[in-house]
Structure 1
Amino acid sequence: MKPTLLDRPRSASTPHPLDWPSLAAAFEAACLLRCVNAPTTIRHRRGAPVVRPPESVEFNREDAAQRMRHLLDRFDVSVSHERAVGGLRRRYELHRLTVSPAQPGYAAMLYTGWRRGRGELLGGPMPGASGLRRMRRAQLAAAAWRAALLAGGRHIRRHILGVRLTDRELAAVLVRSAALLDVPAILRPGTGCYLVSVAQGPGSERIMQATELGATPPGVIG
């Protein structure tokens, strides 16, 4: 029997188990997952949301799969990595990561990482917020864009750097993340997807520099 990987999130009164470095890693992993899989949420009888991440996820880029594997390894989540090649004239690769059984904390980690990270980014500026808090929000913003550029549908033209996504919430997070990195972004709905783009030039260069591991603002999960 396959594992269900169901796990209830902690209540609002329960202290969060993720420190800032762990939050950034969990948030980026959740963003990578949302780039390729719509989240599955069901309701418990008592009304609490229960999130079920997929047992396996496929990326069409090896670096995206390796990044996801690296992030999950920080939480001692064991995964297997399978590579498949297909196509005739146009060859393509698929990289499938499968979570090993009996790891119930996997679901809770992704849920908490996404909820807290999204809340930090979409919440308004806090009066008197410290420089450290602003830096950490910028790190979350960079993590969201790094995930999207690795696993989203890259849409690069001479005048824009963009990504196509099917997840509306992630698209909104990217727009806000760009603003936190001092880059204006545009969100355009398309057929079955959303295109988030920034203009080529100083803005796109700032995004690319911020998403490099170890870039400024200093990374804490590289």
Structure 2
Amino acid sequence: MAFELPKLPYAYDALEPNIDARTMEIHYTKHHAGYTNNLNNAIKGTDLEGKSIEDILTNLDMSNAAVRNNGGGFYNHSLYWEVMNPEGKGRLSGPLKDAIESTYGTVDTFKDAFAKAAATRFGSGWAWLCVHKGGKVEICSTPNQDNPLMPDVSCGGTPILGIDVWEHAYYLNYQNRRPDYINAFFNVINWNEVERRYDAAK
């Protein structure tokens, strides 16, 4: 079966003023839709057809640029929409908070480190919070549409929180002020979903 663009879990304007409706609409209907279509074209008629996106990415031939870029783009954006919420669902708590404090000392120190990873990613890419088997968490960043599931990426583990720092994610509203966009992202994190992903992955 071909991959389908997942349904956006809220309206385009639901994250305002943190992320504006026009950016959301373009990001979802043009960029994410484009990655989805191009991924389907790249795997059509190959042995990758019918496999899950996680299986494709964890066993990826990194020289296959079409699958690497579009498979990453499909997966990354699917996670990105899910870990945001207009209602600010949940507060960071429980085992995930404990894991973050075990690694980073305090939640504020974690936020500073995550923001730095996103702000200092040169060019286009993503910053991630990942979980390793056993529950240890790690912050890292990747270029372009790479993600921690892929082989030969600088950080491993399962991504449970990700922020898109490609300019198309923020430029209409924030122009070159990437740090302002990153700070706004913290206002819309769906911690319930991040915690669900942590529990499933650890």
Quick check: which one's helix share is greater?
A: 2
TM over 0.5: no
TM-score, structure 1 normalization: 0.29
Quick check: which one's strand share is greater?
A: 1
TM-score, structure 2 normalization: 0.31
When Rg is computed on C-alpha atoms for both structures, the one with the higher figure is: 1
